[in-house]
Amino acid sequence: MPFVACAALTTSITLEATSTSPSLITGLPSFSPYLAEDNMLALSLMHQLKTRHVLASHDVALNHIGAMSFADYFWRRVRWIRVRKEMTKVATLLEPFTESVVVGALVAWAAPFPIWLTLIGHFVGWATVDFLVLTSLAPDPAAELAELPHLILAYAARELLALPVWTVAMLGSDVVWRGRRFRVLPDGKAKEVQEPVGATRPRGRFGRWCHGVASGGGEYTSLQRDETS
């Protein structure tokens, strides 16, 4: 019977703390075919090497993604869901039930109160918890609050897009990484998709958009390590 278990996501800090293991150092190249190599590394630390790791400090690892367009944001989220669904299938299938819109709909359906009142209470409470977490982790909470109007708009867009992004992600297996198209395989590895000779690109914005959803034909080449990183 399928079940959801806890897993860990290692960081460079964890890697540095465990770098004294010769088997880990010599085995690092084996993680290069994965787009989410940090996840696979963490699983190996926990299961193959039987190494349990914990957060040893209160330092926050920030991920600065910089400015991006709406399309870049949308497809970035699609990409990582498509990667996760081949690594943690059950958890990814259940992911919509961790999002505010789906949970809010279920609560409104089950609660013995007016729908509008239930939804208002649900979203206010949900957003309050998220903003408390944000301000507790932010290096400069005052700077975050200074951008509050934009932050609210971005937050609302993120919550409303969660289910559409997940739906699109589940419809395909192709992702674009650093300008190259890859297909995420059932074992979690990524293979670069080489367009067959004579292949034509879809025309129009809608056609190109759907091309990102579909997992069409093509030849595979292995995902190579970036020797400069």
Last residue of some domain: 130, 146, 170?
A: 170
Does 210 lie in the same domain as 197? yes
Query: How does pLDDT run across 21-75, given as a tens digit for each residue?
Result: 555 556 677 777 777 777 777 777 777 777 766 666 666 777 777 788 888 899 9
Q: Enumerate the β-bridge partners of residue 177.
A: 180
pLDDT exceeds cutoff 50 at 184: yes
Does 129 lie in the same domain as 57? no
Which listed residue (38, 72, 140, 187) is catalytic? 38
Number of domains in the chain: 3
Query: How does pLDDT run across 78-135, given as a tens digit for each residue?
Result: 998 998 898 888 999 999 999 999 999 999 999 999 999 999 999 999 999 999 988 8
Domain span at 184: 174-222
Active site residue 174: no
Does 207 lie in the same domain as 192? yes
Let me know if residue 40 belongs to a domain: yes
What's the CA gap between 199 and 194, in Å, rounded?
A: 10
Please state, in angstroms and as integers, the Cα–Cα distance from residue 27 to each residue in 31, 40, 195, following that order.
8, 12, 32
Let me know if residue 201 belongs to a domain: yes
Tell me if the pTM is above 0.75: no
Question: Residue 159 in contact with residue 105, Cβ under 8 Å?
Answer: no
Q: Tokens for 16?
A: 């540095």
Does 160 lie in the same domain as 79? yes
Does 136 lie in the same domain as 92? yes
